[in-house]
Chains A and B, each alone.
Chain A
Amino acid sequence: MSDETDHSRSLVSIHTMEMATALVILVFATVVMVSNYELGAGWDSSGPQSGYFPFYVGAILFISSAGILIGELMKRKRGTVNAASFVDTGPFISVLRIFIPIVIYIIAVIYIGIYVSSAVFIATFMVWLGKYRVVVAALYGIGIAVVLFLTFEVWFLVPLPKGPLEALFGY
């Protein structure tokens, strides 16, 4: 992984990312304010309405994200923008290398349960990024899944998502 970082370019600058994040928060704050205003952010006979507290939370959030945005814009004006890289392409690909498998893993949990998914996830990852032999990786994956199974289903009696394979064994 480290050999890629040397000759990779910046994907996005810190400044751009600051602006984008502050904008997302600003939109979120607006949603919070509007939805709670509609719910009732004032007083009625029983005291403060449901939207009272969250409305002001939204308002403060709005102000602070606006503050961050203005700060970044002022930096742009003064020419003191932090143009350093937020993430380079190489490291970002490294992040995706685990992020995408996590997404697939979580979707798989819904259909085939958490134990089989975990075993496959761990083994695949080991083979793919760790360059382990398939047999070794499979042993690790299955072993860890079995330990999880024994811990949760048998020892602590906490039921986790299960799929067709577990059903075959009567769970």
Chain B
Amino acid sequence: MMDSFVSLMHGFSVVLVPSNFIYMLVGILLGVLIGVLPGLGAANGIAILLPLTFGMQPTSAIIMLSCIYWGALFGGAIASILFNIPGEPWSVATTFDGFPLAQKGRAGEALTASFTSSFFGALVAVILITFLAPIIASFALQFGPAEFFSVQLLTFCSFVGMGKDSPFKTIASMMIGFALAAVGLDTVTGQLRMTFGFNELLNGFDFLVAVIGLFGIGEILLTMEEGLSFKGASAKINPLVVLQTWKVLPRYWATSLRSAAIGCWLGITPGGATPASFMSYGLAKRFSKNGDKFGTGELEGVVAPETAAHAAGTSALLPMLTLGIPGSPTAAVLLGGLLIWGLQPGPLLFVEQKDFVWGTIAAMYVGNVVGLVIVLTTVPLWASILRIPFSIIAPVIVAICAVGAFTVNNAMIDLFFMLGFGIIGYVFKKLNYPLAPLVLALVLGDKAESSFRQAMLGSGGSLSIFWSNWLVGSITALSMLMLFWPLISKAIGMIRGKATPVAAGQA
């Protein structure tokens, strides 16, 4: 405990250097902008900006990029509440009660509640990271290749077990990611894989290009299809409304705590912010005294999803920092950033790169405080940006995506890959194939493969290595439980269904 505290103080001294503080402000402003604009999300926004940070100090770079993330989490709520357009997938649940409130002329209250609960959710998650991360990291220092692979296995199996999409689709999406990650030069043997004679494929598919295509271009295509027209409620926040809302908010302490817990849990396991927001909205509706009024403009209905989304988004960085396994697509992009800056993600970061790790964690505290102040004071500005017609925003976002995709490797072919991933993103989104497993597999593919190979090499090709001691054995067993969870829960449902035939009809 004490160690974490001392390290954290050191982290604050890293963040509060003027240059880093400015990067933080820039990051938050860019982040809110990204969060507000449809078609530009945290994952692809950071992917686009990542190449610009190649020359920066890693600590400054992660401060700026992670603050983009916080900004985007705040910004997503603005579009949801004022325009009924979720700027980010995790703010869909915020529209349920946020927009009705705005229509009643209570937009200020809704926004204040949403920002404040976002802040609270993040704060809980950051405190969790501060004290849990060093423990997990020191624990993970003892991991060998078999343990690392089994943790990665657990990550991927969790997608199957915890996702609400079809398990086959989740696995397919994941395996496409792994397959694409394997394209190109095999670094172990020096052989070429799946290049089919095309030199362009030598370097394989860059996950940044994939993220920009899947989330950026894919989202633009979807938005065009829906034919958005922006009709927004007016956005005025004055200090009085803020104070009045703050007076009311403590009433929802139970919802806040529950949502923060759901968020942290789904953020660390790769459930992600989006399911977390829906889940906590659902639970809040069930447990609240005013549950039946949800959907008509209950403040509590804004508090629940926002707290959970922000807690999940933040705690997704815990496994990324400690194990090198990202809990969300955005965390995956940040992880890719670490590799590009020459840092090896994983538990050793906590030993070798103290400045970086604690600077990042301290930036979470400061960034969220600053972010809260910024969004509370600048809402009208962002609302006016949302009034810019889509016929201007769409081509500009496409151009920005193109620039971002090109700068990753300075390769023209990446623009075509981006377009291809855009089509995949569009079709997959419409058919409910989850995109996060694809991105994570693409990022982790090489690492997962090399730890799998090393583990197999150690055991002479026998899979029994993944059951060789209690640690790796229990992680593997948990993975299998997650993998087959859809089947298990179905079986449980059938048994229960037999016991109570009334309930069977609901399946």
A and B from one assembly? yes
Chain A positions near chain B (C-beta within 8 angstroms): 1-2, 5, 14, 17-18, 21-22, 25, 28-29, 31-32, 35-36, 39, 43, 46-54, 57-58, 60-61, 64-65, 67-68, 71, 86-87, 91-92, 94-95, 97-99, 101-103, 105-106, 109-110, 114, 118, 121-122, 125-126, 129-130, 132, 140, 144, 148, 152, 156, 158-161
Among B454-476, those with CB < 8 Å from A are 456-457, 461
Q: Known contacts A102-B217, A161-B412; decide if A32 and B453 are in contact (CB<8 Å).
A: no
Residue of A nearest to B169 (CB): A68
Chain B residues whose CB sits within 8 angstroms of the CB of A39 once the complex forms: 191, 193
Residues of A within 8 A of B427 (CB): 17, 21
Pick from A43, A61, A102, A152: contact of B398, CB under 8 Å? A102
Closest 6 CB pairs of A and B: A130-B391, A1-B227, A61-B175, A54-B182, A125-B395, A118-B399
Count CB-based A-B contacts (< 8 Å).
170
By a CB distance below 8 angstroms, the chain A residues around B179 are 28-29, 32, 54, 57-58, 61
Given contacts A5-B227, A105-B398, A121-B395, contact A18 B431 (CB under 8 A): yes
CB-based contact B419/A51 at 8 Å: no
User: Are A130 and B389 in contact (CB-based, < 8 A)?
Assistant: yes
Contact A50 B168 (CB under 8 A): no
A109 contacts B412, CB within 8 Å?
Answer: yes
Q: Which residues of B contact A18 (CB under 8 A)?
A: 431
Contacts of B394 on A, CB cut-off 8 Å? 98, 125
For the complex, what is the distance from the CA of A156 to the CA of B224, rounded to whole Å? Answer: 32
Query: Do residues A102 and B419 form an inter-chain contact, with CB atoms below 8 A?
Result: yes
> When the two chains form the complex, which single residue of A28, A106, A161 contacts B176, counting CB atoms closer than 8 Å?
A28
Q: In the docked arrangement, what's the CA distance between A141 and B224, Å? A: 20
B27 to chain A, nearest CB (A): 15
Pairwise interchain contact B430-A17, C-beta atoms closer than 8 A:
yes
Are A92 and B225 within 8 A (Cβ)? yes
Shortest Cβ distance from A105 into chain B, in angstroms? 7
**Complex CA distance for A25 and B227, rounded to whole angstroms:** 29
Question: Which of B299-307, B355-363, B400-408 touches A?
Answer: B400-408
Task: Please indicate the chain A residues that have their CB under 8 angstroms from the CB of B407 in the complex.
Answer: 152, 158, 160
CB contacts (< 8 Å) of A5 on chain B: these are 227
